Amino acid sequence: MARKEELKSQILELVKEYYAEVHAPSKVFEAGKTFVNYGGRYYNEEEMLNLVDSSLDFWLTAGPWARKFETRFAEWLGVKYCSLTNSGSSANLLAFMALTSPALGERRICRGDEVITVACGFPTTVAPIIQFGAVPVFVDVTLPEYNIDVTQLEQAYSAKTKAVMIAHTLGNPFDLGAVKAFCDAHGLWLIEDNCDALGSLYFIEGEWKKTGTVGHIGSSSFYPPHHMTMGEGGAVYTNDPQLHKIVNSFRDWGRDCWCVGGVDNTCHYRFSKQFGELPVGYDHKYVYSHFGYNLKVTDMQAAIGCAQLEKLDDIVEIRRKNWALLRAGLEGIEDLILPEPQVNSKPSWFGFLITVKEGAGFTRNQLSGYLESKKIQTRNLFAGNLVKHPAFDEMRRTGRGYRIVGELTCTDLIMNNTLWIGVYPGMQPEMLHYMIETIKNFVSGHKQ
């Protein structure tokens, strides 16, 4: 044992040296030459040490590091339960599929039931609804918040409505007060896609709460550009013990058993119960109560996450400061619509949104092209308008599979006129000032 620890110590010391030599970030920024990414991995030697440490244990599948992360992340969020999964998209899939469980009785979502959402966002917020056979009901969003127009909720409601599933756009919380009140009034489920908003706060019911914890289920993504990363990875969280058990069942092949990896007979009736039409005493580890998946993480991913979690409060604050610097620096440009935080919120920003006004004398694509030519990375607001994409071709032709409330006017404006730039913690102040100067130069050069 002593030799093992000695070898591990030597290996980890070399990892520190390797990080310093190969991965330590450069402090040199040259305007127009250094690439300004919209996002990226923000890490130091601690993530690499945890990664190598966990790999030496060679557990590989979800194990001690995963359980450690789930416990600590739930505590950080202020919720009772957290389930790690292999991506934010899988987190959304698990969050939605949990609500289709027969264990929920009359409240379960069935095929043909409706789920209110928005078309302006990332597709995997909506994909699970369609894949299951439920019907997304799309409502418009507002500017400059880029979130659901809550005045359309009642119009979107029908006797078939079972849930609302929407994202907090680029870290800006949607109007949780109005959405939660609507869901409570109609007995609906609320899923918060929190993948782009980890650390955002919303004042509700007399206190500040982290987004993702107000609804019945929240989801997070740990893809590299997000607030924290495991490379790939995601999480589903809730305060409801039944939903937590169902989420884990769908994640872990659909099994009825809730034993963690490497542990047997937690329930103490592994060979004594009768399930379905199986014989009495059939091994509970191989009883399946849902048609599930295998969406677990590896312990090595979770080890990286444990190190990232120690930085998360600082990451949120740096993102807020970077966003505020951009907002102040771009204030007053008449041809651009700048973002505004939702009332009663403290966003943990994922990016900085810019919308080109109609009649500005230049287009979004011209502005994006100019910024990219100056080594500033840009992104559109994901799908823009989901229903305009090829994946919806057949549904558009048949007129079946989804419903739109009113006109998606702001959604289409965002599809055509909106871009965003980064605020991630790896940005140096010089990069932020360079982005401000470059945008101002472009706009002033297109004055009519």
Residues with a known catalytic role:
226
Which of 152, 156, 145 is CA-nearest to residue 202? Answer: 145
Q: In what order do the strands lie in the sheet with 135-139?
A: 81-85, 234-238, 217-221, 189-193, 161-167, 114-118, 135-139, 403-404
In the chain, DSSP finds a helix count (H) and a strand count (E) of 13, 14
Place of tokens 């939702």: 342
Nearest to 377 by CA among 34, 85, 75, 9: 34
Nearest by Cα to 322 from 28, 27, 37: 37
AA letter at 413? L
CB neighbourhood size of 109 (10 A): 23
**Which SS3 state, helix, strand or coil, does residue 196 take?**
coil
DSSP per-residue letters across 58-73: T--BS-HHHHHHHHHH
Among 340, 342, 334, smallest CA distance to 358 is for 334
One-letter amino acid identity for 418?
T
In the sheet that holds 207-210, the strands lie side by side as: 207-210, 201-204, 345-346
Q: CA 204: distance to chain centroid?
A: 21
Distant-in-sequence, close-in-space partners of 167: CB < 8 Å, separation ≥ 6: 118, 121, 122, 125, 174, 192, 193, 194, 195, 196, 197
Total residues belonging to the chain = 448
Helix-strand-coil split of the chain, %, nearest 5: 40, 15, 40
